[in-house]
Amino acid sequence: MDFNDTPEEAEFRAKAKAWLEANAPKERASGRGDEGHMAAAKAWQARKASAGYAQITWPKEWGGGGGTPMQSIIFGQEEAKYGQNYGYFQIGLGMCVPTVMAFANDETKARFVGPAVKGDEIWCQLFSEPSGGSDVAAARTKAVRDGDDWVINGQKVWTSGAHYSDYGIVLVRTDPDKPKHKGMTMFWIDMRAPGVEVRPIHQISGGSDFNEVYFTDVRISDAQRLGPVNDGWKVSLVTLMNERLAVGGGTGIDYSTIMTLARDLNTDKGPAMADQAFREKLADWFVQSEGLKYTRFRTMTALSRGQTPGPESSIGKIIAAGQLQELSNAAVEMEDQYGIIDDGTISPLNAAFQAGLMSSAGLRIAGGTDEILKNIIAERVLGLPGDIRVDKDVAFKDMPTGR
């Protein structure tokens, strides 16, 4: 692949740059979770949607831009320079709404897709449970049919953004007599429906980005079903494929960011950049980053040829998350006692390394843990023998639970 823009791409980039220059706020709103922060994020999303830049690859009739994946990547690269990525819409537009678009009836799509693109409504993904995160098919939250309705009882956990979400997609057990992958169904739900209780989880960073969500006799209509009854596993694969693509991107910190810090910083032993041990690490990060860059180019090549990127997006995710943790850790250590100051107005580079250190452990778990991604790479990229799956053909109700 030629990594330079084609003439058409260069034209699109110039147009996007000019639009961003004229429209993007120059300041990024602070205070994640505050009303003002959310309002700024919604306003920016609406402005992008009105210009066709919100979901560039989606058809215009759904509020998208009717553009190509390469245009979407180009816009993302240019938008990143303005720091306006707030993260409230990523799960909805990256995972939930594409699932709704693939499996809902026309009426449901007409109702929900537009408001999500404009940022009027936010979605969350309710898959993980105390009994299983890596093993999504271990879901115990159940839905029991009652006439034209279903009644949901159970608990989800680690649900990002549930506390500010309007809607969610939820994976539930509908037939415990079938093996675990064959007895689940997917529904969309209103997060404010009676019986849905959201309890924020307090994090090390001081924030609360994710939640426990409890369902007590939550009654929903069969019209809220996404895909056939007991086919929820196949529906969830569509969501999860989109998830790995969404979280496999860059983290905003790389070897060049830490090089900038090391050039400016004097330690007890002299300039940080002169430290031999640090320079060795830097060389490793450089090699890793170059590998990551070309792996991403491979994904972009697949997209530009109209192909769906394969499990290689797992490679991007595992390397990017691990590198963020190592780099942030090294930078915070380098800052010595000042490393504990997590304040964008004082800490170097807007406290990017402190934020990276706090979030990287979670990033190594969310969207597939390191171990799960290694299994995927081993089985589907390298063609090695599969993981042992002893419960594949056992009825869910007969699986040992330890109780």
Ligand X SMILES: Cc1cc2nc3c(=O)[nH]c(=O)nc-3n(C[C@H](O)[C@H](O)[C@H](O)COP(=O)(O)OP(=O)(O)OC[C@H]3O[C@@H](n4cnc5c(N)ncnc54)[C@H](O)[C@@H]3O)c2cc1C
User: So which residues are the catalytic ones?
Assistant: 243
3-state SS of 341-395? CCCCCCCHHHHHHHHHHHHHHHHCCCCCCHHHHHHHHHHHHCCCCCCCCCCCCCE
Least distance (Å) between residue 401 CB and ligand X: 14
127 phi/psi in degrees, rounded to 5: -110, -55
* Nearest to ligand X of 171, 220 (CB atom): 171
Is the separation of the CB atoms in 188 and 142 below 8 Å? no
Least distance (Å) between residue 49 CB and ligand X: 23
Q: Which positions from 323 through 362 interact with ligand X, judged by CB under 6 A? A: 362
The residues facing 168 across adjacent strands are 124, 189
Which of 158, 188, 255, 353 touches ligand X by CB under 6 A?
158
* Nearest to ligand X of 243, 335 (CB atom): 243
Which range touches ligand X (CB under 6 A), out of 9-17, 44-52, 155-163, 214-222?
A: 155-163
Residue closest to 189 by CA, chosen among 174, 168, 172? 168
Strands 123-126 and 167-173: parallel
* Nearest to ligand X of 134, 256 (CB atom): 134
Q: Degrees (nearest 5) of the Cα angle 351, 353, 356?
A: 110
Window 195-214: contact mask with ligand X (x via CB under 6 A): ---------------x----
Beta carbons within 10 angstroms of residue 257's beta carbon: 19
**Position 233 contacts ligand X (CB under 6 A):** no
* Nearest to ligand X of 70, 184 (CB atom): 184
Phi-psi region of 52 (alpha: psi -120 to 50; beta: other; left: phi over 0): left
Window 110-149: contact mask with ligand X (x via CB under 6 A): --------------xxxxx---xxxx--------------
Record the tokens describing residue 159, joined without a space.
């649900």
**Position 387 contacts ligand X (CB under 6 A):** yes
Record the tokens describing residue 205, joined without a space.
């960073």
**Position 44 contacts ligand X (CB under 6 A):** no
Q: Which positions from 357 through 386 interact with ligand X, judged by CB under 6 A? A: 362, 365-366, 369, 371-372, 375
Least distance (Å) between residue 126 CB and ligand X: 6
Q: Which amino acid is at 57?
A: T
* Nearest to ligand X of 73, 170 (CB atom): 170
Phi-psi region of 208 (alpha: psi -120 to 50; beta: other; left: phi over 0): beta
H or E element that contains 17: helix 7-23
Least distance (Å) between residue 21 CB and ligand X: 33
Is the separation of the CB atoms in 229 and 174 below 8 Å? yes
Residues that bind ligand X (CB under 6 A): 91, 124-128, 132-135, 158-160, 210, 362, 365-366, 369, 371-372, 375, 387
